[in-house]
Amino acid sequence: MTENTADHLKAYPPTAEFAAAANADASLYDRAAADRDAFWAEQANRLHWHEPFSRVLDWDDAPVARWFGDGKLNVAYNCVDRHVIDGHGDQVAIHWEGEPGDARAITYAQLLAEVSQAANYLTELGLRAGDRVAIYMPMIPEAIVSMLACARLGLTHSVVFAGFSPSALRQRIDDAAARLVITTDGQWRRGKAAPLKEAVDEALIGGSHSVEHVLVVRRTEIEVPWTEGRDLWWHDTVAGAGTEHEAQAFEAEHPLYILYTSGTTGKPKGILHTTGGYLTQVSYTHHNVFDHKPGQDVYWCTADIGWVTGHSYIVYGPLSNRTTQVVYEGTPNFPDEHRHWQIIEKYGVTIYYIAPTLVRTFMKWGREIPDAHDLSSIRVLGSVGEPINPEAWRWYREVIGANTAPIVDTWWQTETGAIMISPLPGVTTAKPGAAMTPVPGISAKVVDEEGNPVTLGETEANGYLVLDQPWPSMLRGIWGDMERYQATYWDRYGDKGWYFAGDGAKLDTDGDLWVLGRVDDVMNVSGHRISTAEVESALVGHSGVAEAAVVGASDDTTGQGIVAFVILTAEAKNTGQDLVAELKAEVSREISPIARPREIHIVPELPKTRSGKIMRRLLRDVAEGRELGDTSTLVDPNVFEAIRTQKTNW
C-alpha cells in the first residue's frame, strides 16, 4: 500500500487519531491468517449462544456449509433482548423519520415490547418455525419489527421490495409458499399516498396459493380493498397482544430468510441465509468496517429493507451491535434536496452508508446544498452497490466528510450476506475507487478464465473475482433449486471449489483489489441488480414485441442505464413513438419502476451469432456510441447499419 503508483495519484492513510481509537487494528489480519477457525469462533462469541458450539466449520457437504453447527441461538434475542438485559433498555434503537415529517424514537425496551407483541400474535395465527412469511412494506418501524418477530419464532422471512409489482410479488410468494403476507395500506411517495395493500390483493387474485392471511399496518390511511377472514389489521391484532415473549433457541443453521435477487435468467433466485454464521459476520463487519461504538455513534444506512443491505446493515448487523440508528422512510429530495443533510444535523449522524449513485446525484445537485449544513458529526462514510468512481469518491470525502472521514468502499453481494472486501477505517490506506482487501477472515482471488492468478497491475479486464474459502454468512443455497445453486456459483471453477462472484476485478501493482463490475448478463442500475433476461421477458410479454435484447449502457448517474432493442410484430409496426412509451410503462408494471428502460430502440433485426446467440457486447457498443467491436462472428454484419440508422432516426 505505497503511495503514487500508476493506479492512483493519491492514497489516503488513516489519521493517527482515528487509528488510535479504532475498533480494528492490523493484528486482525494476522490473527485471522494464523488460525481462521479460531478467529471466526472468537467473532461468533460476540453473540449470545443459548447453547455453545463446539465445531466452527463443517465443509463436508460443500458447497453447503455448516458454521457453528451444533450451537443454538436466537437472532432476535441477540438483536434486542440482550441489550435490554444488559441495562440499555432506554437507549434509542431507531430514530425513525417518516417522509411527511412525522418521527418516532424507539428504545431497545420498546422494540422488545413490539417484537414480543408481533411474535405472540404470529404464534396465535398458527405460524410455526420453518414457515415462510412475505413482508411487503415501506420503511416503517413495523417492517423491522416484523422481520425480528419472524427471526424470533424461527419463521423464514422473504422481504419483497415495496416498489416491486404485483406479479413480482406473486412470483416470490409462490416460490416460497408463504403462509402470511405483512403489508401496509399504502406508502408515502413524494407527498402522495400510493396504494400497497391493493397490490397484494392483485398478487393474490385467482389460482391456488399458500397465503392464509394478510396482516396490514395502517400508514397512509387510504382506502383498501378488504377480504373478511383473510385480512387483518395490525392495530386490531398485534397492537393488543402481550408484550412479553420468551425467545427460544434455534440451531445455527436454521433458515433466517430468503431474499430474491436477479440472476442471468428471467427467474429470480431465492437466496437462502441461515442464522449463526450470518449473524456472526454481519455483526463483526458492522463493528470493524464502520468502527461502530455502541452508545456513542448515530448510524445511518440509507438502503431499503427490500435489499440485502437493509437486512444486514439496518436490521441484523447494527441491532446485534446495539446501534442507535436513523431509519428514513422517503426519498432524498422530498420535500427538497436538503432532506438528508437536515436529518444528519437533526440526529447528529456519525456513520453514513450510501450507494455511489446517490453520491453522483448529490454532485449533480451541487455542493452548496450540503455546504449549507453542519455535517461535522460525520466520522465514517460507506459506499456499496457498485464500483465508486474516483471522482465521486473524492467529492464524497471532501464535501460530506470534511476531507477527514475515511471512506469504506464495501464489496459484497446478496449471496455473500455480509461485507467481504473493504478497507478498515483506522487501518487501511485507502485509494479512491478500490475496495482494497478482503476483510480479516475472508479470502478472495482474482484469476483468469483458467483459474490462474492475474498479473499485478494488468489493466486489461480479464480478471474474475472468486472466493476461495467458505465464509460464515455465505448463502446456503437457492430456495428450491440446489442445482441452480451449484451451476451458478460453483461449476465455473468446479475443480478448485471456488465461488464465482460474477464480477470482473483487477489487482493493482500494490496487490490491492479493484472491482470492475458484472461479467454476466446482470445490469447494475443505481446499485440495483436487474437481469437483462427479466427485462427482455417483460418486453416480449407485450403483444407488439416479437423479439427483444437488453443491455446495460454506462450512465453518469445511475452507473448503468437499461437500453433495449426490440423487433416489433407485423401488426405493431408503424405505431412508432407511442409504443416506446407503452413498452417502458409495461416494464415498470411488470417488474418495477427501477427496471424501466432508459431507451428503447425499435430495430429491424438483432445481431446474432451463427448459433443464434444475441451479441449483447455489440449492442452495448451501439448503446454507448462506440465503434463496433469484432463483428466477424455475426451471421449478418450489415444488421448494424440498419440498427444505427434506426437509432439516430429515433
The interface region with ligand WT7, picked from 57-65, 86-94, 234-242, 384-392 by CB under 6 A, is: 384-392
- Minimum separation from the CB atom of position 374 to ligand WT7 (A): 28
Residues in 512-531 that interact with ligand WT7 by CB under 6 A: 515, 517-518, 524, 527, 529
Rounded Cα–Cα distance for residues 113 and 101 (Å): 25
Residue 467 binding ligand WT7, by CB under 6 A: no
Question: And the C-alpha cell for 446?
Answer: 482474482
- Minimum separation from the CB atom of position 348 to ligand WT7 (A): 26
Q: For residues 389 and 646, which CB has a smaller minimum distance to ligand WT7 in the complex?
A: 389
Residue 413 binding ligand WT7, by CB under 6 A: yes
Any binding-site annotation on 183? Answer: no
User: Judged by CB under 6 A, which of 78, 280, 320, 414 binds ligand WT7?
Assistant: 414
Any binding-site annotation on 386? Answer: yes
User: Judged by CB under 6 A, which of 112, 435, 447, 643 binds ligand WT7?
Assistant: 435
User: Burial of 34 by CB count in 10 Å (0-12 exposed, 13-18 middle, 19+ buried)?
Assistant: exposed
User: Judged by CB under 6 A, which of 112, 148, 232, 308 binds ligand WT7?
Assistant: 308
At 236, is the secondary structure helix, strand, or coil? helix
Rounded Cα–Cα distance for residues 536 and 564 (Å): 8
Q: For residues 187 and 473, which CB has a smaller minimum distance to ligand WT7 in the complex?
A: 473
Any binding-site annotation on 503? Answer: yes
Number of C-beta neighbours around residue 614 at 10 A: 20
- Minimum separation from the CB atom of position 50 to ligand WT7 (A): 30
Peptide bond into 335 cis (omega under 30): yes
Find the length of the chain: 650
Question: Of all residues in the chain, what percent are helix, strand and coil, respectively (each to 5)?
Answer: 30, 25, 45
Question: Do residues 152 and 245 lie in contact, with contact meaning Cβ atoms separated by under 8 Å?
Answer: yes
Residue 385 binding ligand WT7, by CB under 6 A: yes
Question: And the C-alpha cell for 415?
Answer: 449471496
Residue 309 binding ligand WT7, by CB under 6 A: yes
Any binding-site annotation on 333? Answer: yes
Q: For residues 96 and 313, which CB has a smaller minimum distance to ligand WT7 in the complex?
A: 313
- Minimum separation from the CB atom of position 167 to ligand WT7 (A): 20
For residue 91, give the DSSP letter.
S
Distances (CA, A) of 639 to 167, 599, 603, 608: 35, 19, 9, 9
CA angle centred on 7, ends 462 and 619, rounded to 5°? 40
Pick from 616, 630, 528: nearest CA to 565? 616
Residues in 249-288 that interact with ligand WT7 by CB under 6 A: 261
Any binding-site annotation on 448? Answer: no
- Residue number, nearest CB to ligand WT7: 414
Q: For residues 138 and 387, which CB has a smaller minimum distance to ligand WT7 in the complex?
A: 387
Q: DSSP secondary structure string, 9-31?
A: S--BPPPHHHHHH-S--THHHHH
Question: Do residues 350 and 382 lie in contact, with contact meaning Cβ atoms separated by under 8 Å?
Answer: no
Residue 171 binding ligand WT7, by CB under 6 A: no
Residue 410 binding ligand WT7, by CB under 6 A: yes
Rounded Cα–Cα distance for residues 540 and 594 (Å): 18
Any binding-site annotation on 131? Answer: no
Any binding-site annotation on 394? Answer: no
Q: For residues 47 and 505, which CB has a smaller minimum distance to ligand WT7 in the complex?
A: 505
Question: And the C-alpha cell for 15?
Answer: 489519521
Binding site for ligand WT7 (CB under 6 A): 261, 308-309, 384-387, 409-414, 435, 501-503, 515, 517-518, 524, 527, 529
Binding residues for ATP: 385-387, 409-414, 503, 518, 529
Binding residues for Mg(2+): 540, 542, 545
